[in-house]
Amino acid sequence: MEVRNHLNKRACPAQEILVGAKLKSLMSKNILNKRTMKRPCRNASQTSIIKMRELHPIPLKTFNFNWMKNLIKIFVFVLVLAMSSESFAQIFRAKAGLNLSTMLYKDDDGVYSDELKMKPGFLLGATAEFPIDEMFSFETGLLLSTKGFKYDEDYVQKLNLTYLNVPLTGKAWFDVGGTKLYGLFGPYVGVGVGGKWKSEDNGNGEMGTDEDKVEWGSDAEVSDFKRFDFGLTIGAGVEISAIQIGLSYDLGLANISPDVDNGNKVHPRVLGLSVGYKFGGK
């Protein structure tokens, strides 16, 4: 992607202009250099974007635990409801794995996530499974899961988001020649608990390395992403003794972009490979 810098005083006095309609769309979604927040130039043409003026320092905000409290309440409610049912013994698992994440970025003019690459991350947590009969079961849990993307063109840009997810999935079990296979499907809900932008050179030595915290919230002027996420999970796997190996895909349905102008939408996408160890149950 070609990037040209010049000063256009007639369009935006004393502002640096970065030209390109596609670049405008990418930057307005904070895909590019987060060190200097950027937004469309209100007085320039549709193919220009500018560096945002230096903002006054924003007071540090205490973390709003309401989302996390509500998420834990949902988990506890579902857990108690499932444990109170007349069913087989509950099955608990410790789970860890590898995430490969990217994001769908689009607006009314098109889709821009072709510029993004998958970023490796992790999955860590615990699940509880409640068999309904010999074939079907319900699974929930608390999972710390990373999301984000990698942008690698003129320089390297990485977005790392950490979410606390509660899966609410149904599982179907199959015995194939003595091997236990399963498929799963269902919704998940999550809340963002941390995030960081990282920018670094792509070998040209011009940019250096920089890191910046993600700003959570719904204010399009100062926030990067909304905390709340929900979507669908689909997956499959195999269980060998107490070890379970699974492959899953999280399809984010919530628009986590605080800026909805021109139909801006941002949806996480996560491909996960996990290993679980079973405690209890059959």
H/E stretch holding 152: strand 136-152
C-alpha of 189 from chain center: 12
What's the confidence (pLDDT) of residue 155?
79
Instruction: Give the separation between CA 129 and CA 118, rounded to whole angstroms.
Output: 30
**pLDDT score at 78:** 58
pLDDT in tens, the chain (282 residues): 332 232 232 233 333 323 233 333 444 444 444 433 333 333 333 332 222 223 333 333 444 556 556 656 665 665 565 555 554 568 999 999 999 999 999 999 999 888 899 999 999 999 999 999 989 999 999 999 999 999 988 778 999 999 999 999 999 999 998 899 999 999 999 999 999 999 887 666 566 788 899 999 999 889 999 999 999 999 999 999 999 999 999 999 999 999 999 999 999 999 999 999 998 765
Q: What is the pLDDT of residue 207?
A: 61
User: What is the pLDDT, as a whole number, of residue 128?
Assistant: 93
Q: What is the DSSP letter of 227?
A: S
**Residue among 43, 54, 53, 55 nearest 8 (CA):** 43
Distance (Å, rounded) from C-alpha 258 to C-alpha 137? 37
Residue 3 confidence (pLDDT): 27
Quick check: 74 and 230 in contact, CB under 8 A?
no
Burial bucket for residue 23 (CB in 10 Å: 0-12, 13-18, 19+): buried
Asked whether 18 and 40 are in contact (CB, 8 A), the reply is: no
Separation of alpha carbons 26 and 113, rounded Å: 9
Domains of the chain: 1-53 (no CATH), 65-279 (2.40.160.20)
